[in-house]
Amino acid sequence: MNTQNIISRKQNGIVQPLLTDLYQITMAYAYWKTGKVMDNSVFDLFFRKNPFQGEFTIFAGLEECLKFLEAFHFSESDIEYLKQTMPSVEDDFFVFLSNLSARDVVIYALDEGTVVFPRIPLIRIEGPLIVTQLLETTFLTLVNYASLMATNAARYRIAAGNSKLLELGLRRAQGPDGGLSASKYSYIGGFDGTSNVLAGKLYNIPVKGTHAHAYVTSFTNFSELHTRILHSKNDGKPYDFVQLAIKWRSELGPLFKVVNAEVNDGELAAFISFAMAFPDQFMVLVDTYDIERSGLLNFCAVTLALNDLAFQAIGIRIDSGDIAYLSYVAREYFSKISTKYEIPWFKDLIIMASNDINEETILSLNDQGHKINCFGIGTHLVTCQKQPSLGCVYKLVDLNNVPRMKLSQDVAKVSLPGRKDAYRLFSERGDALIDLLVQTDEEPPSVGSKILCRHAFEESKRAYVTPSKVEKLHKLYWKDGLICRPLPNLEEIRDNVTRSLKSLRSDIKRNHNPTPYKVAVSDNLYSFLHNLWMESAPIGELT
């Protein structure tokens, strides 16, 4: 076992068999009493509707489910607690429960990071009913938020194009576990880093950040700067850095059309001290007092002073106001200074924007035109404000080789019975055309052969597809008590998101009125499903 695994497991502390709904345990007892212990079940975990009014979803959380299975065991204290909670339950059941493991469970799943669609079983869980039922709630809690978060992040990634994306949500997240999961799954979805230090340590995600307004407001004048000396990066010579920055500010005054009296000394003192602490990573918040009349000038003065000592600054963060307009203003000053003082990198300094940004803000900024090259995003991203839950469900589809079907007045809620495999069929151009569900014992679709793909419930909706490429989506991940495929690391999952989304036509990914992606069933599955439906539905009588 490598260190990374140990660390992740430790973090996984709260993911344990009691992280479930009580009804799973009462059902287990009732199953045990009725003698259903050896019944062999198949469950599907899937969702019914894509989130965020979109037409795609990113599947995430699989690794956590598999780690949960590895450690699945009711401890002595769990048993003790359950005995107290369920006093009428026979003691022998608790002996049975304490010997339970996930050894006899078999898991087929899609690769984590795959783009997925409604009704496709993301995970197929097979095995003794009593155990598979006990997995329901924990699996759902592990997949629901993870997939919602990864999808939200992927949508921001699409909106932001080539701009960097930094996740800043910990302070606003749904508690510590929500915050940690948000950082992990936003990275999978395409963010470039997080401000969450524990997420950085646990998952090896790049951690980044600037500073808070408090840092600026904590300074009022230069006398608070107890260290004034900074050594040049070139020759190690000491310079009075405070004096140098003040000199540059006077020199730049006319360019910014401000007089010294208008510019905030506390802000300059704060920037100087931050630059002296991090001369190679100088990045500051410029909106504490007035971006145009103070923040930008103070930043440029310190950056030029750093440049004299051979250090290259990183950039600024803007956290209020009209960020499109202010980014133009900032870029213009950077360009002018770059030309005037012949410092090529000055024009390319990073302009980061933050403050309640969401997907729509980024799209609107794109329309307006802007000069931002990094977005810092917190609240809207981590709380998934636009849609707070994905709505994944876990449904029994087969018991002892007899298909099961949950009927509903609402067709969207009718479950697809039996063991099914999903295949993704690709066009000649290489893009994903349709996902096809077939019964596991029927002939899989193959390249070059004409396949009838049918809408699961609407008889008239069907089409022939002759795929140029066929990808089997379900893979065996867990058998005989072991994870039986090498698990990808976070980077690889992130690459899978990019690769998988790339194969999707852009009209399916667009923000406004996206085209739905097609999910179909094979002709066999269609007949099977409708025959079973007819058999299961009671015939009404008109009176």
Ligand X SMILES: O=C(O)c1cccnc1
Ligand Y SMILES: O=P(O)(O)OC[C@H]1O[C@H](OP(=O)(O)OP(=O)(O)O)[C@H](O)[C@@H]1O
Ligand Z SMILES: Nc1ncnc2c1ncn2[C@@H]1O[C@H](COP(=O)(O)OP(=O)(O)OP(=O)(O)O)[C@@H](O)[C@H]1O
Site string for Mg ion, 307-346 (x = CB under 5 A): ----------------------------------------
Q: Which is nearer to ligand Y, 343 or 350 (CB)?
A: 350
- Residue 377 engages ligand Y in binding (rule: CB under 6 A): yes
Shortest CB 383 distance to ligand Y, Å: 9
**210 interacts with ligand X by CB under 6 A:** yes
* 50, 97, 103, 515, 518 from 55: Cα distances, Å: 6, 42, 37, 7, 10
Return the residue of 24, 174, 320, 427 that touches ligand Z, per CB under 6 A: 320
Q: Does 366 bind ligand Y (CB under 6 A)?
A: no
By beta-carbon proximity to ligand Z, the closer residue of 180 and 365 is: 365
Q: Is 357 in the site for ligand Y (CB under 6 A)?
A: yes
Residues 296-335 that bind ligand Y (CB under 6 A): 319
Do 149 and 189 touch, CB atoms closer than 8 A? yes
List the structure tokens of 8. Answer: 């992740």
Closest to ligand Z by CB, 55 or 319: 319
Question: DSSP for 343-412?
Answer: -GGGGG-EEEE-SS--HHHHHHHHHH-----EEEE-HHHHTTTT-S----EEEEEEETTEE-----SSGG
Residues 312-331 that bind ligand X (CB under 6 A): 317
Residue 302 CB: number of other CB atoms within 10 A?
27
Residue 290: Cβ within 10 Å count: 17
CB of 322 to ligand Z, least distance (A): 4
Residues paired with 478 in a beta bridge:
107, 483
For residue 195, the minimal CB distance to ligand Y (Å) is 8
Under the criterion CB under 6 A, does residue 114 sit at the interface with ligand X? Answer: no
Structure tokens at 145: 């938020």
Both tokens assigned to 470: 């066929």
* Residues in CB range of 251: below 8 A, 6 or more apart: none
Q: How far is the CB of 382 from ligand Y (least distance, A)?
A: 8
217 binds ligand Z (CB under 6 A): no
CB-based contacts of 142, cutoff 8 Å, min separation 6:
15, 61, 64, 65, 68
**Is 365 a binder of ligand Z (CB under 6 A)?**
yes
Per partner kind, with CB cut-offs from 5 to 8 A, the member of ligand X, ligand Z, ligand Y, none near residue 209 is ligand X
C-alpha span between 353 and 345 (Å, rounded): 20
What part of residues 436-465 is at the interface with ligand Z (CB under 6 A)? none
Shortest distance in whole angstroms from residue 168 CB to ligand X = 4
For ligand Z, which residue of 80, 332, 348, 356 counts as binding (CB under 6 A)? 356
In angstroms, the CA 335 to CA 323 distance is 18
* Closer residue to ligand X, CB minimum distance, 170 or 437: 170
Say whether residue 45 binds ligand Z (CB under 6 A): no
Give least dist CB 295 to ligand Y, A: 14
Which residue, 168 or 372, is less far from ligand X as judged by CB? Answer: 168
Span near ligand Y by CB under 6 A; candidates 241-249, 258-266, 372-380, 443-451 = 372-380
Residue 377 touches which member of ligand Y, Mg ion, ligand X, none, C-beta under 5-8 Å by kind: ligand Y
> Of how many residues is the chain composed?
543
The least CB distance from residue 167 to ligand Z, in Å, is 16
Among 51, 190, 193, 376, binds ligand X (CB under 6 A): 376
Q: Residue 269 CB, nearest distance to Mg ion (Å)? A: 24
Tell me the angle at which helices 490-502 and 175-188 cross, rounded to the nearest 10 degrees. 60
159 contacts ligand Y (rule: CB under 6 A) = no
| Site pattern 145..184 for ligand X (x: CB under 6 A) | -----------------------x----------------
Question: Strands, DSSP E only, in 129-240?
Answer: 164-167, 193-194, 229-231, 238-240
Minimum CB distance to Mg ion, residue 514 (Å): 30
361 binds ligand Y (CB under 6 A): no
Q: Which of 209, 321, 481, 514 lies at the binding interface for ligand Z (CB under 6 A)?
A: 321
User: What's the first-to-final CA gap in the chain, in angstroms?
Assistant: 69
Q: What is the DSSP letter of 246?
A: H
Q: Which does 295 bind (CB under 5 to 8 A by kind): Mg ion, ligand Y, ligand X, none?
A: none
Q: How buried is residue 321: exposed, middle or buried, by Cβ count under 10 Å (0-12/13-18/19+)?
A: middle
Pairing of strands 451-454, 462-465: antiparallel
Closest CA to 513 of 161, 116, 148, 53: 53
385 touches ligand Z by CB under 6 A:
no
27, 47, 46: which is closest to 129 by C-alpha? 27
Distances (CA, A) of 250 to 171, 259, 271: 39, 8, 16
Is residue 481 a contact residue for ligand X (CB under 6 A)?
Answer: no
DSSP state of 334: H
**Binding stretches for Mg ion (CB under 5 A):** 355
**Binding stretches for ligand X (CB under 6 A):** 168, 195, 209-210, 317, 354, 376, 378
**Binding stretches for ligand Z (CB under 6 A):** 320-324, 355-357, 361, 364-365, 368
